[in-house]
Amino acid sequence: MTDRNILTKFSSHFLNKSSILYFIVIACFFIIAGWSIQVYGEEGASQDEEVNFTILHTNDEHSAVIPHSPAKDFRPGEKDPTIGGFARLASAVEEVRDRKEEKGEPVLLFNAGDFIGGGAFCWLVPQGNIPDPELSAMHEIGYDAAIIGNHEYDYGPNILADYLIAAGYPEAHEKTKMLASNTIPPEGHPMEEKELLRQTGIMEIENDIKIGTFGLIGNQAILVASDTGDLEFADQHKVARKSIDKLEDEGADIIVALTHSGIPEDKELARSVDGIDVIVGGHCHTAIAPPKEVNDTLIVQAGAYLEFLGHLELAYNPVTEELRVRNEEKNRPFLIPIDGSLPMHEETAKVVEKYKEELNSLVREITDGKFESVMDTVARADFVLEDIRLEATETTVGNFVTDAMRQITTEKTGDNVDVAFQADGNIRRGIKPSQTGNGGEISFYDISKAVGIGYGEDGYAGYPITSFYLDGRELMLVLETSAFLSEGISPATFFHSSGLHYVYEPGNAVLFNIPILDVPVPGLNSINEAEIYTGEGKQPPPDSGEFEPVDTSGEELYHIVTDTYILSHFKMVADILPVVEPKNAQGEALDLNNPEEYLVHHDDGRELKVWETVVNYAANQPEGEDGIAQIPDYYAQTHQRVIHEDGFPHVVWVIVIVVLIAGGITLLVRRRKIRRRKQQQSSI
């Protein structure tokens, strides 16, 4: 049978009345079915098929184990003005879970790093044998995943490995996945051998929906990490793309990145890497509400110190693969305050109390019994020693801390200290006295939260005091370094000081940024004036007549104290600026690889810590009528130790000179062309 005969037979069969009617009915059925799939599959089914779930999140707890700000105001069983505390957090999480369980909606809980570092509770970490209370509380509360931030490296990667092992890892990944996707331990390191860190994780929720997670530490966080040892860190964007591919191959429907990077780097990650649905961030201590949206990626962060629990209600449509936020339509907050309105979760409170007793025992040991508890009153004040502002400027808490370092070290060594420096980023918080009860009391705990970070060679927490000498020229370079780093890199590198008054022009700290590389070039000419305080005790205003100019001839040495963190960066700074060479009192260069040459010790071999100088300085103030040391009103305000001047930026002169040179060259070239043209015309 020919093709034509087949077509003829086919047509004759269907082109009758009954067949045509049948064909029309079938066609209408498919048209209506297709329209229904389009409408209800993409819109109607988006409601019927949606899976509702909630992401809870915290970041940058910094050992805020108990309610604080100030801790002295905590009244168990009562509503009080304090914030934070893991037992309160547990109650907030439980309330959300119970409410969502009634509706059959899953709840996930994530942590974006820096759960340790800052307060006295993390001092237990380098003591060994026991995990710190933060991670124990996180396991009790039921975090699904967490990441390693820069402050988890406060005691170095080896102690971090010991701490994770003590907390039950690698088995504890079943409780709380510990993610560090772009962290590369060296071969043979416990983190690598024992698989203490994971690169990705998958969590399955309702209707077989899978949520994939990975964790990144950002460039800025790596830069300020105290001690990362031999660890290396891979490019965040490359790792993100690789992690997304891996998770999607494993069937992940939704991708959540846990990052400890800060908002600017989170935005850049979202712009550069497709496929991330949610970024749960940390590091910059920002409370974000509502979420920021960049390239279809939601970015959230919950502040710091457990002031808030992040709360993100979501709906996912597996048909359209759309993810949408539900908070506003349900009138739910993006941030839940962790405050005195919340009860203490009984089981979590027991975990906290256990570690509080451990900490009190340590406090008695390291203060030789002078203080029995972290809640002991050290002093009283009628004002707040204001919080750091990350604005490269003098603060009352910065003055108090550096005065303590200068004067307590003078007493300890018997040698007058000329200048004390402390970086803005190493003063974690202001010092706030109690506002309830008798009022004005400052606890050991509240001072430790301000200056308790770091670690020493003696095995105890807290940055040690370092003592050395610089000549006047080098001292001026230190000030230039502070100006350059705080203006060109981060305000956290600004140096608070005691025993010194200086004037500088912020606009001249950085000459310019190298294009493309975005690398700042130091101006080296921002300090207009610097004077040394020649009196005793608290530093008066600069017009008191008790100051003399820094001698830059190189003939006089100045006794300097700071901490080991700042001293460790002197070599790094030397790669950017002229060398600053710490010396002993005889002017001989110190071996910075030998801590015994610059550390200040107690008779029992323990190091003098920054926090210790501040506690002792506060306790040594004149007593009030109640027998408690009283912080003098001097510290209620600043005293012009650092004065900013708005001068004419030197970079403008550079631009003017470049423009003049370019203009001169252009004019010269034009004149030569005109002369050559005239010569050609005259020769014709």
Give the pLDDT band (50/70/90) at residue 646: confident
Cα(first)–Cα(last) distance of the chain, in Å? 93
Going edge to edge, which strands form the sheet with 495-498?
465-471, 557-563, 419-423, 495-498
User: Both tokens of residue 157?
Assistant: 């990667």
Place 569 in a pLDDT band, splitting at 50, 70 and 90: confident
Give the count of beta carbons closer than 10 Å to the beta carbon of residue 505. 20
Residue 637 clears pLDDT 60, i.e. is over it: yes
DSSP states of 259-283 as a string? EES-HHHHHHHHHH-TT--EEE--S
CA distances from 17 to 27, 30, 136, 459 (A): 15, 20, 79, 97
CA dihedral (21, 26, 28, 31) in degrees, to 10, reads -160
Give the CA distances from residue 375 to residues 66, 72, 192, in Å, rounded to whole numbers and listed in that order.
11, 7, 39
pLDDT digits (tens, 9 = 90+) for 223-282: 889 899 999 999 999 999 999 999 999 999 999 999 999 999 999 999 999 999 999 999
The label of the residue with tokens 């040391």 reads: 629
The DSSP call for residue 41 is I
Angle at 626 between CA 623 and CA 630, to 5 degrees: 35
pLDDT digits (tens, 9 = 90+) for 395-438: 999 999 999 999 999 999 999 999 999 998 899 889 999 998 77
- The pLDDT of residue 525 is 80
Q: Take residue 667 and report the two structure tokens written for it.
A: 């004019």
**Average pLDDT over every residue of 112-120:** 92
Q: Which residue has the tokens 């690169």?
A: 199
Over range 576-600, report the average pLDDT. 87
pLDDT over 50 at 20, yes or no: no
pLDDT of residue 673: 64
3-class DSSP string for 358-386: HHHHHHHHHCCCCCCCCCCEEEECCCCEC
Residue carrying structure tokens 């010194």? 500
Burial class (CB in 10 A: 0-12, 13-18, 19+), 229: middle
